[in-house]
A and B are shown apart, each in its own frame.
Chain A
């Protein structure tokens, strides 16, 4: 059975990643990095770090032991495009990893697959085996003397924080998935303290596309500062949820029209750690210069209680905080308590002001992206939907549980 994407046709389907790999293998290593640099591609996971910079940092490090890690720990609520890419276009991802390996001089690649996607493992291993047999992995990859590179699949075990690259590395090494102090960054000291590139699944697949079709083709999509196309995972109150591909720069309204979600009163962009965009701002663009996103779009219909939405997100973060640093561990619990107070109608304005300060503290003082972003959704919902959230009738004690 094929995947039900219910979205539009994906460009990935028409691209031969191995043609891209072949083109890359004909280049010198600096030329490979220059190509990615000229394409302007930024990481597809959401943070938007320029891919070529990462490759260049790792490539400049000395040493023979380097790693390419494909981050397939797709845990952000509302995100599922990597599941589709890994199911339908694994060759593109592996071709991208091999190109990255050539660029930085790595000999080993690891796909960190989230535990929830365990059912994909045998499929991926079969594709890797086929590629080995075809000479696209193993010794002298693609006939290039001395270029040895192989890929293995490692499994996560149910921890959202492991999507953070240093936590992911800790997990692969057999430790608790607690983010490391940075610097040193993984490109200098990553997996087993060797230079390591950690790229999102979609980033690697897109890299293969750039080499298959050229820089100009890639830059013909998107905006000046956000080149290329992007996969969007669309869910929630819309007629056609699924995986969609759009060029960067599409407005929220345009996207909603495509997916049959015009009635929305708000859209959560970027998942639980992203931001809530109300109807009044549907003209905003999804691109790194306006609303940066890893592609998660959750649509909320007119009947939805936005406080329940905020509470759901905070529940998630309280559960998924690794507990290592105080602003995140305690901050998220305080945020959730405030949301519950709002629901019961017992939250004072004074307390809300404290929560806004606490949110600012979490943003600057948390160790990793989880705590730095986890209060965003609650704060933006408070900002845009304060009218329907603040000053609810006080609930009787019996109804509070």
Chain B
């Protein structure tokens, strides 16, 4: 089973390297994909990426640990990041934080035991006029209220993987 997973990982990373090229510039995009797909970047993954890009694994570790969104620690399927910066603080992020903890049953910085949810703080995410803002994987929720926290959690629970919902809360046509 473990070997199979590792083989799958190697195949996935190889496909990425083929597509993006073996240059150093591919490192961050590769790690982004690995993180999205596997919800973490373990030492096996770092070694495989290092082998295929022909760099030392510590280089991979150093980059993965630098960026907030590449955090190599295993995280949940849904990473909920609540903005803690000033405008969202003024808009009442503290009540949302408490409600998120209650609704999901986990504290900030913790991943739920079923591997479904991770709750984190984020720094300013550029939604300052519509705070409090919450990022669920790639999806942005704005003007979050304690009431909508329940809806957001329910949407995540109902969804399969990766996509929080089909509800367009974003800003695109």
Contacts and interface: CB of A to CB of B under 8 A. Distances in A.
Given A1-B168, A77-B124, A157-B32, A234 B129 contact: yes
A74 B126 CA distance: 7
A186 interface: no
Interface size class of B (residues with CB under 8 A): 35 or more
A308 B85 CA distance: 11
Contacts of B165: none
Contacts of B11: none
A237 B69 contact: no
B87 A77 contact: yes
B139 A119 contact: yes
Interface stretch (B2-10, B19-27, B101-109, B152-160): B19-27
Given A155-B29, A158-B69, A176-B63, A77 B85 contact: yes
A118 interface: yes
A268 B86 contact: yes
B17 interface: no
A102 interface: no
A1 B171 CA distance: 6
Nearest to B66: A176
Interface in B156-173: 168, 170-173
A242 B171 CA distance: 14
B48 interface: no
A172 interface: yes
Given A6-B129, A119-B138, A316 B173 contact: no
B50 interface: no
A312 interface: yes
Contacts of A80: 126-129
A77 B69 contact: no
B173 A75 contact: no
A298 B128 contact: yes
A10 B85 CA distance: 27
Given A1-B173, A77-B86, A173-B25, A117 B129 contact: no
A120 B168 CA distance: 13
Contacts of B170: 1, 119
A298 B25 contact: no
Contacts of A1: 168, 170-173
B172 A117 contact: no
B128 A174 contact: no
A354 B173 CA distance: 53
B125 interface: yes
B144 to A, nearest CB: 15
Interface size class of A (residues with CB under 8 A): 35 or more
Contacts of B129: 6, 80, 233-235, 241-243
Interface string A97-131: 00000000000000000111111100100000000
B128 A241 contact: yes
Contact of B86 (A116, A156, A313): A313
B128 A320 contact: no
A171 B68 CA distance: 13
A318 B27 CA distance: 26
Contacts of B31: 157
B67 A177 contact: yes
A126 to B, nearest CB: 10
Contact of B126 (A83, A123, A158, A242): A83
B171 A87 contact: yes
A272 interface: yes
Interface string B92-131: 0000000000000000000000000000001111111111
B70 interface: yes
B126 A157 contact: no
B67 A157 contact: yes
A331 to B, nearest CB: 18
B16 interface: no
A236 interface: yes
Given A77-B85, A304-B90, A313-B86, A174 B171 contact: no
B90 to A, nearest CB: 5
Contacts of A34: none
A3 interface: yes
Contacts of B140: 116, 119
Contact of B67 (A154, A158, A268, A272): A158
Contact of A312 (B28, B69, B86): B86
5 contacts: A1-B171, A78-B85, A119-B170, A172-B25, A174-B25
Interface of A: 1-4, 6, 74-80, 82-83, 87, 114-120, 123, 154-160, 171-177, 233-237, 241-243, 268, 272, 298, 300, 304, 308-309, 312-313, 315-316, 319-320, 322
Interface of B: 23-29, 31-32, 62-63, 66-70, 84-87, 89-90, 122-131, 135, 138-140, 168, 170-173
List of 9 A-B pairs having minimum Cβ-Cβ separation, nearest first: A158-B68, A157-B67, A174-B27, A235-B128, A241-B129, A158-B69, A174-B24, A235-B87, A176-B66
Given A116-B125, A155-B29, A157-B67, 9 more contacts: A79-B126, A119-B170, A159-B66, A159-B67, A174-B23, A235-B90, A241-B129, A243-B129, A272-B124
